[in-house]
Amino acid sequence: MVGENRGYAMNRSFLFGATVAAGAVLLVPGVAQALSRAGRPVMRAAVRTGAVAYKEFQKAGAEVYEHMEDIAAEFEAEIRRARSEAGEPDDAEAAADDTAEGTGA
């Protein structure tokens, strides 16, 4: 209960501070213009950084996908090898057998 009240007080303090800051920006002449002039380069840098990060994550994701495909192919090859050593038919062979049995009359 005590923690809940403290969180509420912190939220009220934050809201009060944000309201005062927004009021100061709107009421004091020139502050909004100065913030917009200073904010544009910051926003451009943030967008540029985001675009670069997106490209890097896209490359990393493609590499991970490629590695996962390689691992899956290796796993399938191991399964086929183990089945052939045990004398079991391959999945493709089993499907062909099932199709041939179903069409023969």
- Residues 51-92 pLDDT 10s: 999 999 999 999 999 999 999 999 999 999 999 988 877 665
- What pLDDT is recorded for position 42? 82
Residues 6+ away with beta carbon under 8 Å from 32: 25, 26
Range of the domain at 33: 2-103
Q: Give the CA dihedral 43, 47, 52, 54, nearest 10 degrees.
A: 140
pLDDT digits (tens, 9 = 90+) for 16-32: 888 888 887 777 767 66
pTM for this model (two decimals): 0.44
Considering its fold, how many domains does the chain have in total? 1
**Confidence bin at 40 (pLDDT 50/70/90):** confident
